[in-house]
Amino acid sequence: MYEKALVLLREKKYPQLRELLATMEAQDIALLLEEADMDVVPRIYRILPKELATDVFAEMDPDMQELLIKVFSDSELGEVLEDMFLDDTVDMIEEMPATLVKRILRVATPEKRRQINDLLSYPEDSAGSIMTVEFVDLKQDMTVKQAFAHIRKTAPDKETVYTCYVTDSRRRIIGIVSVKDLLLNKYETTIGQIMDPDVIYVHTHDDKEDVAKTIDKYDFLAIPVVDNEDRLVGIITIDDAIDVLTEEIEEDIAIMAAVTPSDEDYFKTSVWGHSKNRILWLVILLLSSTFTGMIITNYENLMNALLVSFIPMIMGTGGNSGSQSSAMIVRGLATDEIKLKDFFRVFVKELLIGVLVGTALAVVNALRTWIMYELMYKNDPAYADYNIWMVSLVVGLTIIGVVVLAKILGAVLPMLAKVLKLDPAIMASPLITTIVDACAVLLYFNIALIFLPI
């Protein structure tokens, strides 16, 4: 269907396109418009059935929304604002340049304007910033029949009608009732009889990530949000919760890969923007690797091709062991599976894993070294001064030490970051690798000084 629409669009067959678009989902039409020339977008937008048009508008990229708002008449803009869900409107306004924001607020009805300003005033990461004020509220003395009448009357405006919230005269939430409950009870039953008074709710200033996790945990379709005086002021729906959850994970992945996280898509970000997001950590890591270099300059008399040839392997193994642990711990902390009180359990567990894995790697390395020596280097001058088994012993002991250290740092540093109220992800792989590198080289040369002739 999408491909067919694309063909009609390219061939400028607008009457047929109009018919086809009317049967498509808003998300697909928004994607389709991305592929169209900028100057035909308003034209295609205007051939859409009115209700679908607003849905399509809400699904568009901010750039495309900006383009359309600029060509909209005030009455067109007013209609879109009236039909769009309030949380989508606020999301859009946050991306618009100041002049367009002014025009949007001027065109909106006074009631809408007040609601928009209310929502804009919540801090960026708060529950308030992602909630919508459009929900169904019932009173406990209503009957099921009255409740249905109320929903029928107000539903077209409400983002989620399937969970209804029961409030008292002071707008405090006292119960919830699902449309399923309404359907399963007699018309005469009062809401007070069937509502569930044990409501799980959140506060406007709660962290939006925690709220999203709560919705996910309980498999809710929406969660009610109350203000400082415990009055019901909005709801957060599951689709927005999913967005928050995936954004947070994407952010963690970026940080773990030493990239400054950004909300922008890959192609939407310029070469310059990508470079800016990547350079900061690279500079920090480059400068901190200075220590590893300084350690090496202190061991001038160990500089021979044989001993130096093991450095990349030792550093690589340390770095990889550390990333393994830190990735596991960062995710465990993010999903609340690992808590700060588990510190000691995690420490012991990673220590044991480090010993086991390190020993196995030391054995693999000894075999590898022996095979290579027998096959390739028996007459190499680089190997002349050394007993190959002693070298394997030195490298093996270093590997065990480095792997244990990397595992422990990979586990401890993210937890430490959490104690310090930092994002655990910044302690992931690259930073740990750099610390482990320095320790690895120091350990290696000192073990070498003990066991090998210099």
- Three-state secondary structure string covering the chain: CHHHHHHHHHCCCHHHHHHHHCCCCHHHHHHHHHHCCCCCHHHHHHHCCHHHHHHHHHHCCHHHHHHHHHHCCHHHHHHHHHHCCHHHHHHHHHHCCHHHHHHHHHHCCHHHHHHHHHHHCCCCCEHHHHCECCCCEECCCCEHHHHHHHHHHHHHHCCCCCEEEEECCCCEEEEEEEHHHHHHCCCCCEHHHHCECCCCCEECCCEHHHHHHHHHHHCCCEEEEECCCCEEEEEEEHHHHHHHHHHHHHHHHHHHCCCCCCCCCCCCCCHHHHHHHHHHHHHHHHHHCHHHHHHHHCCHHHCCHHHHHCHHHHHHHHHHHHHHHHHHHHHHHHCCCCCHHHHHHHHHHHHHHHHHHHHHHHHHHHHHHHHHHHHHHCCCHHHCCCCHHHHHHHHHHHHHHHHHHHHHHHHHHHHHHHHCCCCHHHHCHHHHHHHHHHHHHHHHHHHHHHHCCC
Chosen residue from 338, 400, 432, 448 binding a second copy by CB under 8 A:
338
Q: How many residues bind a second copy (CB under 8 A)?
A: 112
Minimum Å gap between C-beta 74 and a second copy is 30
- According to CB under 8 A, which one of 293, 390, 446, 451 is a site residue for a second copy? 293
Does residue 242 bind a second copy (CB under 8 A)? yes
Binding segment for a second copy (CB under 8 A), chosen from 43-51, 67-75, 223-231, 323-331, is: 323-331
With CB under 8 A as the contact rule, the residue among 245, 393, 442, 452 that binds a second copy is 245
Q: How far is the CB of 408 from a second copy (least distance, A)?
A: 14
Given candidates 124, 188, 219, 229, which one binds a second copy under the rule CB under 8 A?
Answer: 219
Indicate whether 40 belongs to the interface with a second copy (CB under 8 A): no
**Residue nearer to a second copy on the CB measure, 132 or 317:** 317
**Could you give the CA distance from residue 26 to residue 369 in angstroms, rounded to a whole number?**
61
Residues 144 to 203: which contact a second copy by CB under 8 A? 148, 151-152, 155-156, 161-162, 179-180, 183-184, 197-198, 200
Among 349, 388, 416, 447, indicate the residue that binds a second copy (CB under 8 A). 349
Q: Contact between 340 and a second copy (CB under 8 A)?
A: no
Report residue 217 CA to chain centroid gap.
Answer: 17
Considering the rule CB under 8 A, would residue 331 count as an interface residue with a second copy?
A: yes
| Residue 419 interacting with a second copy (CB under 8 A) | no
Binding residue for a second copy, selected from 396, 414, 424, 430, defined by CB under 8 A:
430
C-beta of 16 vs 27, nearer to a second copy: 27
Query: Where does this chain touch a second copy (CB under 8 A) — which range of 45-53, 63-71, 294-302, 384-392?
Result: 294-302
Dmax over CA atoms of the chain, in Å, equals: 98
Residue number with CB closer to a second copy (42 or 261): 261
CB 247 within 8 A of CB 263: yes
Of 253-282, which residues contact a second copy (CB under 8 A)? 253-254, 256-259, 265-267, 271-272, 274-275, 278-279, 281-282
Q: Name the minimum Å distance from CB 26 to a second copy.
A: 8
Residues 362-381, mask of contacts with a second copy (x by CB under 8 A): --xx--x---x----x--xx
Q: In this complex, which beta carbon is closest to a second copy, that of residue 121 or of residue 155?
A: 155
Binders of a second copy in range 57-96 (CB under 8 A): none
User: Per CB under 8 A, which of residues 112..131 are in contact with a second copy?
Assistant: none
For position 356 contacting a second copy by CB under 8 A, the verdict is yes
The yes or no reply on residue 454 touching a second copy (CB under 8 A) is no
Residue 352 touching a second copy (CB under 8 A):
yes
